[in-house]
Structure 1
């Protein structure tokens, strides 16, 4: 499986939450902006590492759901989400 990283730039996110409808791992954070919660998906048992700072959220996954993450990124009207492969 491909290991991939999802980054949300908080300065670019304005809480439209189009990403939430494409990938259930995206949720509204306490600050009113998008964040990632691997346990939020009601269907898949998902694991991932998430770092949430004042500037950005970085989540790393090792599963077969990169296309869902890419769809969430593509749905973001402010281009605040970047998905990139980081290895196998």
Structure 2
């Protein structure tokens, strides 16, 4: 199964939250911008590593839901979200 990384660049995020409707792991953070919370998905028990700094959010997953993350990234009108495979 591919391992993939989701990155949200906070300076590019405008808090439009189009990503939230594509992937339930995307949520509104305390700063009013998008972030990733693996526990926010009500359907799947999801595990992932999330690092949230002043500049960006980086989440790494090794599940089969890369398509959902890519749909969330494609929905972002400011291109603040990137998804890339980082290995097996």
TM-score range, shorter chain: over 0.9
Question: If the length of structure 2 is used for normalisation, what is the TM-score?
Answer: 1.00
Residues of 2 paired with 1:40 and 1:47: CA distance? 11
Residue 79 (structure 1) aligned with residue 51 (structure 2): no
In the alignment of these two chains, the number of paired residues is 88
Q: Report deviation, 1:35.
A: 0.1
Output one character per residue of 1:9-43: Cα deviation in whole Å (capped at 9) or x when no partner. Answer: 00000000000000000000000000000000000
Q: Report deviation, 1:83.
A: 0.1
Helix, strand or coil at the partner of 2:5: strand
Helix, strand or coil at the partner of 1:27: strand
Consecutive unaligned residues of structure 1, counting only runs of 5 or more, are none
Q: CA RMSD of the aligned region, Å?
A: 0.1
Output one character per residue of 1:31-87: Cα deviation in whole Å (capped at 9) or x when no partner. Answer: 000000000000000000000000000000000000000000000000000000000
Q: Please identify runs of 4+ aligned residues in structure 1 that moved more than 6 A.
A: none
